[in-house]
Chain A
Amino acid sequence: MAQTLIEQHGLFGCVQCGRCVAGCPISIRTALNTRKLIYQSLLESKKRVQSPDIWCCTTCKTCSDRCPKGVEIMEYIVALRRYQVERGKIEPTARNALESILKHGNPWERAREKRTEWITDDLDVRILEEGESTDVLLFVGCTPAYDPEAQKSARALAKLLNKAGVDFAILGTAESCCGNEVERMGEEGLFEMLVEENTELFSKYKFNRIVTISPHCYNTFKNEYTALDFEIIHYTQLLQELIESGALKFDGKIGENVIFHDPCFLGKQNAVFDPPRFVLQSALENELLEFDRNRERSQCCEGGGGRMWIEVESDIERTAEERVKDAEYFGAEIIATSCPFCMLTLSDAVKTTGLEDKLRVIDISEILIIDY
C-alpha cells in the first residue's frame, strides 16, 4: 500500500516538543501552529487535514531544520497544499500568479515580451541566441526582470559584470519562471512542467555556469532540477570570486552603517552565509553590522512559499516590520540583502514603520555600485 502523507513525512516520530512552533517566524502572528497541526493530523489520520492556515507558511524551513526527530514539517505542509491546489480552491491572488506563470512565464501577470525591459541603454547585456555560447548565463528571474524596485539589482549586477569584463549573457524573453515558489505553493504539475521546459531550454545554449540573482531560483536549480550538468551559483558567490581574483576592486569607502539580512533560501536552506558578507565588507568603511538573529537563525521576511501572493490577516506586525525595527536598533542606515523578495518585503516594512528617513533597503549589487 502506498505510504500516507503522515508516514512519508515521519509524523509518527513527533514527540510534541514544540521546537518547530518556537522557531516558526509566523506562529506568533498567524493561526498556523505546526505542533498542533501534526497532533491534529495524527488524531484524524483517516482524514486529510484541510486547514486554511497552511497558506500562512513561508516555507522558510526552520521547523524541519530544528525538529529533533527529523519530522519533515514544511514538506508536509506543502503536500497538504497540493490537495487544495488540486481542488482548485485557492486564494485568488495565488491563482492569478499560477495562471500567469502558465500563460506568460512569470507570476506578475506581465507580458513575456516585456521581460527585458529592465535593460537600460548604459548596460552591455547580450541576449543569447540558440546555439551561441557564453561563460556565465545570468538567470535574471521574474522579480528582478519586472518589478521596478528589484530591476535596480539586475541593472547593478550587469554593471558590475561589465566592469569586471565577465563574458555573460541572458536568455531574454525566452527565460521563464524557475518554479521554486510554484513547488512550494503545491502546484506539483506546473512545477514538473517548468523543470522539463527549462531543462530543455538550457540545453539549447552553451555555457559553463548559471548565476542567479534570486536565492529562490538558485535553490530550485541546485536542489530540485536533477538533470542539469553545469555549475549553479548565486551572484554573491560570483562577486566574491571576482573580488578575490582582482577583477573587481572596491576601496572600502562606503561610509554608511550596513547590516546584512540573510535570505532563507540562501542562508538557512543552502548554507551560503559568507559570500554576501565578504563582498559587502570589501566595499565598506565600517565593520558590517549583524542582527542578533543572523545566519541559520535569521528571521524570515515572509516573502517565500508563495506568500508574495498570499496576504495573511493579523493584528500583529509583519516579521519584516520587526526586522527593520531591529535593524534600526542595531544602528544600521542600510539593510543589505541579496534576494528580490526580501528586498520588496523589507522596503515595504520601512515605509509602514515610518523609518524611511533613517533606513534604506538595498541589494548588495546596488550597494557596490554606489561608489562606481
Chain B
Amino acid sequence: MNSIVCIKRVPETAEATLKIASDNRRLEEENLVFAINEADNYALEQALLLQEEFGGDITIVSVGPEKTDEIIRMALAKGATSAIRITPTDMAELDPFAVASLIANEVEDLDYDIIFTGCVASDDGFSQVGVTLAEILGIEHISMTIEMEAGEDGATVNRELEGGLMAKYDVKYPAVVTIQTGINEPRYASILGIKRASSKEIRVVDSVDIGGKRVNLEKIYFPPPGKMAEIIEGGPDAVAEKTCEILKSKGLL
C-alpha cells in the first residue's frame, strides 16, 4: 500500500511573543521556532503504521520554503521513502486552493492508495487543503478522522461528531483522509536517524507559479481587547494575586 503524506512547516506560537511584519500579512520569523504542523505529524504516523502493516512506500509532499527540508528530513528519518518539496516564487500569495493545486500537480501521476493530511494547520486554520485536493484529483475524501482501520482496497474510518457522537464510514482507495490529533502516538525522530535520512531523496520543485487562488489575505492583526476584557500583566505571582483579587471582588472566591 502506497501513501502520500502532506505536511506543513508552521511556527510554534503557544509561548512565543508574536510580532507582525511590516506588510501586515506575515509574522516576523526571527525568534520563532518552526516544526511540523501537529495534525500532520499524526497523519504521518498513520501512514507509518499502515506501512508497518502492509508495506509500501510513503511519499512526503510539502509546500514551503527551503527550510521545510528540516521537517521533511524528520519524516524521512521516521520511515518515509521519498519526498517532494514545492517552493513557489510567490509564497506570500498562497491560499488553500493554491496549495492544493500545487500538490495535485505533483501527485496526480503517482501510484498511491491514500493521501493523508492533517485535519487543520495550526497557523492559518483553514482545514481546506485535504478536501480541496480530493476535489481537484476527483477522488473520495474523509475529513477529521479519529480512528482508522485499513484494508487492502479500502478503509473503515470514524469521525468524531459533536455531542459525543461518532460516525463510521467506508471509503475506497484512492482517497484523501485528513487526520485529527490523538488518533495515534507519533514516534520520535532521533538525530542519528535524521542524519542517516539525508541520503534519501527530496525532489525540489521550485520557481513554480501558483496557479490561481480563491481568497486574498488582507491583513493579520491583534484584535483590540474587548470592553469586558482586562489584560493582567506581570510575573506569575503578580498575575495570580491580581486574579484572586478580581475573583474575590466579584464574590466568586
Contact = CB atoms under 8 A, between A and B. Distances in A.
A290 interface: no
Contacts of B73: none
Contacts of A90: 187-188
Interface in B36-85: 78
Contacts of B192: 86, 188-189
Contact of A88 (B12, B78, B195): B78
A88 B187 contact: yes
Interface string A159-172: 00000000000000
Interface in B84-127: none
B191 interface: yes
A188 to B, nearest CB: 6
A88 B191 contact: no
A88 B33 contact: no
Interface string A76-114: 000000000111111010110011001110000111111
Interface residues of B, number: 21
Interface string A107-123: 00111111001001000
B224 interface: no
Interface residues of A, number: 29
B29 to A, nearest CB: 14
Interface of B is mostly: loop
Contacts of B185: 92
Contact of B31 (A94, A98, A113, A120): A113
B154 interface: no
Contacts of A111: 15-16, 33
Contacts of B31: 112-113
Contacts of A95: 186-188
Interface in B177-195: 185-195
B33 A148 contact: no
Given A88-B78, A113-B31, A190 B191 contact: yes
Given A95-B187, A95-B188, A104-B33, A110 B193 contact: no
A193 interface: yes
A363 interface: no
Interface string B10-48: 001001110000000000000101010000000000000
28 contacts: A85-B188, A85-B190, A86-B192, A86-B193, A88-B188, A88-B193, A89-B187, A90-B188, A92-B185, A95-B187, A102-B191, A109-B15, A111-B15, A113-B17, A113-B31, A114-B15, A117-B235, A120-B235, A187-B190, A187-B191, A188-B190, A189-B190, A189-B191, A189-B192, A189-B193, A190-B190, A190-B191, A193-B191
Interface of A: 85-90, 92, 94-95, 98-99, 102-104, 109-114, 117, 120, 148, 187-190, 192-193
